[in-house]
Amino acid sequence: MNEIISKASKENRNLFEYESMQLLSKYNVNVPSYRFIKSRSEIYELPNDIRYPVVLKVVSKDILHKSDCGGVIVNIHSFNELIEAYDKMNNDFLKMRDNAEIKGFLISEQVPQGAEFIAGAIEDENLGKALMIGFGGIYVELFKDVVLEMYPISRNEALYMVKSLKSYKIIQGYRGHKPLDENKVADLLLTINQIIKDIPEINQIEINPFYLYENDLIAVDAKIILK
């Protein structure tokens, strides 16, 4: 874990998504299975038991919002589709990336759609550290359903944050839908709380989205920004 942070610091960059996923996995956060590749030929070396559909994402320290610039392709259902997606994304970025340095590509299991939320932490030099939970996905800035609490938090405070969301009705089970596991969300907030305690080099964590289900939670995308 310290090796991930040290390597990124020496290279004067934030964590790549696959490194963020690796760090979250070390803290027992559920993430999709993934493979990081640097070249087209590595696709041919993928194991035969790879589970489709998958998602292809560009990996670059210069691109924070991949979906805004064509850096994400979803619903890839076969090896041939994966090759086609790679060629398209690689060619597109060769044409348009300007000064963006492409590190490689992430092949990630496309997990079943769940209710989308965002969780994270940020440190302000004046206010200190704060934990965050909100209604997530691409609409996070539109709905602005976000709750903040100063670090550190207790389990009761984590649950209070969840229940303070306007979108808490979704978690309770809206219009006949089954309730979702709010305790998993509290667990995630407490894990983020522990991460920023253990790794003072971190300035910001953003898990957006994580999918919440009846009995599970999966962090689908994550950004970790260093000081």
Domain ranges of the chain: 33-109, 115-226
Residue 48: φ, ψ to 5°: -70, -20
| Domain at 115-226: CATH code | 3.30.470.20
The pLDDT score that the predictor gives to residue 98 is: 60
Q: How far apart are CA 41 and CA 56, in angstroms?
A: 15
Tokens at 8, concatenated: 């990124």
Low-confidence ranges of the chain (pLDDT < 50): none
Alpha helix stretches (DSSP H) within the chain? 2-10, 17-26, 79-96, 140-143, 155-163, 168-173, 182-198
Give the pLDDT confidence score for residue 219 in this predicted structure. Answer: 98
In the chain, the N- to C-terminal Cα span, in Å, equals 17
Could you tell me the fold of the domain covering 33-109? Dna Ligase; domain 1 (3.30.1490)
- Number of other residues whose CB lies within 10 A of the CB of residue 86: 20
pLDDT at 41: 95
pLDDT recorded at residue 147: 96
How many other β-carbons are positioned within 10 Å of the β-carbon of residue 202?
23
Residue matched to tokens 């956060």: 29
Task: Give pLDDT, residue 26.
Answer: 96
Residue with tokens 């559920």: 30
Give the separation between CA 151 and CA 128, rounded to whole angstroms.
8
